[in-house]
Amino acid sequence: MIRVHSWISDLVQNIELEPETAQYDYTYTCSDQFDDRSDWTFKYIKRISKQVVSLSYCPLEVELTIANSKYGLRNLHNYDVPNGEILIDATSLALPEMLHIFHILKANKRSFDVLYVQPTGYTEKKSDGLDEIKSYDLSDDGLGIQQVPPHVGPSDNSMLFFFLGFEGHRFGAIINSDEFDTRNVTCLIGAPPFKLGWENKTLSNNYKQLAEISTSSNARYKFAGANDPIKTYELIEQVYNAATYEKQVLCLAPFGTKPAAIAAAQFAVNNEKVVMLYDYVKKKSKRSSGTDLVHKWSFQYVE
Amino acid sequence: MKVIDIINKLSTARQEFQSSNGSVLNSFVVPFFIDKFDLRKISHSVALAGSRGSGKSTYIQYFSHATRFDKKHLNIKLEEFDCILLYWKPDITYCQGLKTNWLGDDALRFFSIHAALSLLQELANLVSNVSNHFPDLLSSLEQSGKFWSSVSKVTASSVEDIASLNAWIMDYKYEISTRLNPVNLDGILSIEPKQMLVYLTNALRLDYHRFNRTTFKVFIDEFELLTKEQQQVINTYRKESNQQLNWNVAYKLNSKPTNETTSDQWLQSPDDYSEENLDVHIESNYKIFAAEIFILTLQNAGLNCDMPQLTPEFLGDRDNIEERKSKKYQENVLSLINKILPTPSIKQLSSICMVNKSVKNKLSSLLDSLGLSDKVTQKLNEDISLAITVLGTYRQRNFDCAQISRYVLGESPKSEITSVKDKISTFEFNTLLSLNLQNAFIQVPVYSGFERFITMTTPNIRHFKELCLSALKQSDDFDTNNSYSLISDIKPISYLGMHLGALSSSSSLVKEVISYPPHGNKLSHMVNRIGELFRISQKASYQSEPERDIFTFTYDYAGADKELEDFLNSALSWRVLVEDDSRRIKDDKQITSKEFQLNPIYAPKFGISYRKKRGVTFTMDQFKTIVSGSSESFEGIKKLYQQKWKSEDSEGQQGVLL
């Protein structure tokens, strides 16, 4: 399994971008740049890494592209993980890419670090007229809710663990699909959030959906720091144990913050039977602004 | 029961329904068209298409063995054995996860196993349901032994009764779920669903005399959501349907599932199947149907009905259709509903509007400025509908004071009377809508009443129920201790209450649009932006023509823009848009007669009309900007129409918080 054995956090302004000191040999990142954070991260990883490798996943072809070479999911073992120290830039990578690279590194019994930079704000939607609640303009239409191979499994008799984010409609899509038993859902709220008060934004943007699922009284809520994958991992494990006890499959929908998605990917890599959901929304450029805290988590492979 | 208890029961009703055993007994109102459209009596393969919320699944389930042989039935007719319907709603996210690009040929093998296990479960349930009423089935199966030996052969284990079959299915489902990560099909049974069903149903025929001549029909729900390869497999079965085993599908109206099969012989309509549009059937008697469903829902929530014969059993029994078609019966049902949800006439709405002081003042200063005689003014004030119409139309170029004067004084010739009356019927409601939008303090309940709920929701029963529920939430008894036991005890909901309820439902349904995959963001842009444009039109104080609420654009639908057509199909299949060919827009630029209206249920959110009247023709560029352009580029279009329609800017809130 892989586990976090140490971590450090610091403010962006305390980190120097000069001179170049390569601590890492390889860094996996997403080549499309979206916002201030990716600009900064790109400079930073160029400083600390000898080589930067782009990583992307195509859900239609079901293949992972690593540095321009394509690998079908059943052939990931054909990819030779280079020797040396490895860093994964989670700021720009989406859940499916993280999940697959975690799988590859675990299969190769490799330890690695994961980097994440928090933004200072997210882009609010320009009002389309009549709405009072501020909503967020973060992504364009994706493929709709799908299970992420290889974490595919029956959804009847499953226990849904949904991570709430700023885009309530992504939760709404799960409810409206009528495919999931929303009477038996657990929600993760990122509290404390990146910034004090943002938990209110999470709640107000998901208000309609929460009101809908709360007509059946079984919805449960869990809280973990929005930038705390370790606590999030513990909570997933709790829910997983509860589901297993009920002979149900755990279905993870990590649509909240990236650190929470890191924990979900880590948990799935360690537990094959978890079903993973993702909607492949297209991230908009300039979806966030500013750079705040930088986190680095060190993952260790243990037998 | 208190109102709050009824509301709580109704809110959870939909979710409880999902978890039921597949029987819709006592929760289904048999529609009048059922005799013409008995799914068991149609000999060819059927593709049942219906828009979202039209009740497709419930309709199929009514014919399924789960309902036909429900334990609660007192008597089962032997004709039930003529045709037995197996209902299968695939586990969609799982099936979609079985991608060929990932699993190669194994993808269809996993799908086949999923289908086979689900159908085997249906057969197990069938035996169990039938044996509730015909206990000799179990002893026959045991004595003859063919069925159980066939099941044992299929499952490659020893299965000799329902309990052991259920246990085997549960275990095997679990086994399969462990074989995807990592992919490993070693030692997994190869079960081909169709061969399995042929084999097992033949065994049933041999073992039990009542199944001797039975036709087995499989109905696969949500067919459009399966992958193309999976649809091809099912299509091959549909093509091979016969008297003994017949394969059918159901999908959302306007979704376009493939007609390909696994061979080069494609499925063809009408030779291989016929597509039946459930919406068309439902629309024919929607009003009474919706009223009955609401009564049934209230009964299932715990209220009793005043009409003693109107029980869930009565509504669910097709023998009562003739009685339900009778005028007397329908009057009784409608009067019960109309009592709870009374519909104000447009004239009544005008009277409500006229109570408002500022409207009165506005009218009197207008009449002064028109220079009418005192007598005409007095008469006009008495004819409220006409007065409101004048308020809305006096700026029109062809507005004629003399004509109005003659009309109120009774001096008009016949043709003029008709012309004025026409004007009232066209513009009175229009003016009320405009007044609502122009003044935050005017709140004419233009969306209130059962009749309007029907117009706004046809043929979507789910939306109708949501409107009724929102209206109930506005009941005066919401926080009193008044308790109801009969449906007629429910205190009539006030006009304003119904209006506010409609606003709240509508607003919440508009918010839901963004979560309709795969074009949610674009659909939501379209609804909100077109809604806003029509709101601008409706808000203008100069109304040159009736309500604008339909649109078209310059495109010929000949396949040149596949992306656009995909998007439109998605909009139609979610019923975000409603399409018709009536050609109400008078514009030379129009290429086809196709016209679109936002679903009328969205009208209250924007304060626009639910009646189909007039509209606009967008250029292709405009339409694309509306669907996927930035807020800035949409502002340009908005400004253009504001000028064109002489509407002042813009978004003062309506009188209530949405």
pLDDT tens per residue across span A3-26: 999 999 999 999 887 776 789 999
Query: DSSP of A255-274, one letter per residue?
Result: -S-HHHHHHHHHHHHH-TT-
Inspect the interface and report whether the beta carbons of A144 and B518 lie closer than 8 Å. yes
The secondary structure of residue B32, as a DSSP letter, is: G
Q: Name which of A289, A279, A288, A261 is nearest A101 in CA terms.
A: A261
Q: Kindly report whether the global pTM for this prediction surpasses the value 0.80.
A: yes
Q: Give dist(CA A239, CA A252) in Å, integer.
A: 10
CA angle at A296 for the pair A293 and A298, rounded to the nearest 5°: 160
Inspect the interface and report whether the beta carbons of A155 and B94 lie closer than 8 Å. yes
Predicted local confidence at residue A143, as pLDDT: 85
What is the amino acid identity at position B294? F
Inspect the interface and report whether the beta carbons of B658 and A144 lie closer than 8 Å. no
Q: Give dist(CA A99, CA B422) in Å, integer.
A: 66
Is B94 an interface residue toward A (CB < 8 Å)?
A: yes
Q: Give dist(CA A3, CA A5) in Å, integer.
A: 6
Residues A255-264 have a mean pLDDT of 96
Q: Is the pLDDT of residue A255 over 70?
A: yes
CATH class, domain A144-279, is alpha beta
Which among A147, A173, A181 is the nearest to B520, CB-wise? A173
Residues from chain B that touch A141, judged by Cβ atoms under 8 A, are 517-522
Predicted local confidence at residue A38, as pLDDT: 85
Helices (H), chain A: 36-48, 95-107, 168-176, 198-205, 207-213, 229-245, 258-270
Is B93 an interface residue toward A (CB < 8 Å)?
A: yes
Inspect the interface and report whether the beta carbons of B177 and A170 lie closer than 8 Å. no
Mutation for A interface: B10, B89, B93, B503, most A CBs within 10 A: B93
How close, in Å, is residue A15 to chain B by CA atoms?
36
Mutation for B interface: A76, A125, A152, A285, most B CBs within 10 A: A152
Residues in chain B: 658
How close, in Å, is residue B525 to chain A by CA atoms?
8
Mutation for A interface: B92, B98, B515, B598, most A CBs within 10 A: B515
Predicted local confidence at residue B601, as pLDDT: 97
Inspect the interface and report whether the beta carbons of A216 and B178 lie closer than 8 Å. no
Q: Label residue A138 by pLDDT band (50, 70, 90).
A: confident
Predicted local confidence at residue B477, as pLDDT: 87
Instruction: Pick out chain B residues at pLDDT < 50.
Output: 16-17, 649-658
Pair B441, B358: CB distance under 8 Å: yes
Helices (H), A23-181: 36-48, 95-107, 168-176
Residues from chain B that touch A147, judged by Cβ atoms under 8 A, are 93-94, 96-97
Percent of chain A with pLDDT over 70: 94
Q: Give dist(CA A42, CA B566) in Å, integer.
A: 38
Q: Is the pLDDT of residue A231 over 80?
A: yes
Query: How far does CA B433 lie from the centroid of its chain?
Result: 26
Which residues between 176 and 215 in chain A have a beta carbon less than 8 angstroms from any beta carbon of chain B? 176-183, 208, 215
Inspect the interface and report whether the beta carbons of B12 and A216 lie closer than 8 Å. yes
Partners of A9 in the β-ladder: A295
Which residues between 242 and 261 in chain A have a beta carbon less than 8 angstroms from any beta carbon of chain B? 249
Q: Other C-beta atoms within 10 Å of A253: how many?
A: 25
Predicted local confidence at residue B658, as pLDDT: 37
Predicted local confidence at residue B397, as pLDDT: 84
Inspect the interface and report whether the beta carbons of A152 and B98 lie closer than 8 Å. yes
Predicted local confidence at residue B421, as pLDDT: 94
Predicted local confidence at residue B637, as pLDDT: 93
Pair B432, B354: CB distance under 8 Å: no
Inspect the interface and report whether the beta carbons of B19 and A208 lie closer than 8 Å. no
Count CB pairs under 8 A between chains A and B: 138
Q: Other C-beta atoms within 10 Å of B609: how many?
A: 25
Which among B93, B183, B522 is the nearest to A155, CB-wise? B93
Inspect the interface and report whether the beta carbons of A61 and B92 lie closer than 8 Å. no
- Look at the block and give the residue holding tokens 């890599």: A269
Q: Give dist(CA B36, CA B40) in Å, integer.
A: 11
Is B105 an interface residue toward A (CB < 8 Å)?
A: no
Q: Give dist(CA B194, CA B218) in Å, integer.
A: 10
Query: DSSP of A142-174, one letter per residue?
Result: -S-SEE-TTS----TTEEEEEE--S-HHHHHHH
Enumerate the domain spans of chain A: 2-121+287-301, 144-279
Inspect the interface and report whether the beta carbons of B101 and A141 lie closer than 8 Å. no
Pair B37, B276: CB distance under 8 Å: yes
Inspect the interface and report whether the beta carbons of B182 and A150 lie closer than 8 Å. yes
Predicted local confidence at residue B650, as pLDDT: 46
DSSP E strands: which ranges in B213-325? 215-220, 245-252, 273-277
Residues from chain A that touch B466, judged by Cβ atoms under 8 A, are none
Residues from chain B that touch A279, judged by Cβ atoms under 8 A, are 517
Which residues between 588 and 607 in chain B have a beta carbon less than 8 angstroms from any beta carbon of chain A? 605-606
A129: left (phi over 0), alpha (psi -120 to 50) or beta: left
Predicted local confidence at residue B7, as pLDDT: 84
Which residues between 370 and 429 in chain B have a beta carbon less than 8 angstroms from any beta carbon of chain A? none
Quick one: three-class SS letters along B60-117? HHHHEHHHHCCCCCCCCCHHHHCEEEEEECCCHHHHHHCCHHHHCCHHHHHHHHHHHH
Inspect the interface and report whether the beta carbons of B102 and A128 lie closer than 8 Å. no
The secondary structure of residue A124, as a DSSP letter, is: B
How close, in Å, is residue B390 to chain A by CA atoms?
30
Residues from chain B that touch A172, judged by Cβ atoms under 8 A, are 512, 514-515
